[in-house]
């Protein structure tokens, strides 16, 4: 796994080996997710793309009344 988004309310120890690249707040519910990348694959541009991808996924989950997972694997 090269990148993951973890709910800020969850322990970030789950991503201890990862570099935090930024935070994204869900427009639908306000939950915050920390975007983390594996240190061997750090890419700020990719982190921005992952944030946009995550925004769409979170919005789709609200449309389907689906609860957000605590950890979401990001494309990379």
Structure confidence by residue, pLDDT tens digits, 36-62: 999 999 999 999 999 999 999 999 999
Name residue, tokens 């570099």: 19
Residue 70 backbone dihedrals phi, psi, to 5 degrees: -70, -25
What is the predicted pLDDT for the residue at 13? 72
CA dist 64 → 6, 57, 59, 71 (Å):
20, 11, 9, 18
Would the pLDDT of 31 be above 70? yes
């Amino acid at each position: 796994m090269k990148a993951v988004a973890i709910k800020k309310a969850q322990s970030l120890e789950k991503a201890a080996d990862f570099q935090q690249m930024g935070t994204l707040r869900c427009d639908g519910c306000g939950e915050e997710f920390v975007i983390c990348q594996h240190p061997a694959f750090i890419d700020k541009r990719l982190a921005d793309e992952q944030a946009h991808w995550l925004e769409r996924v979170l919005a789709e989950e609200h449309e389907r009344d689906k609860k957000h997972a605590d950890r979401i694997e990001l494309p990379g």
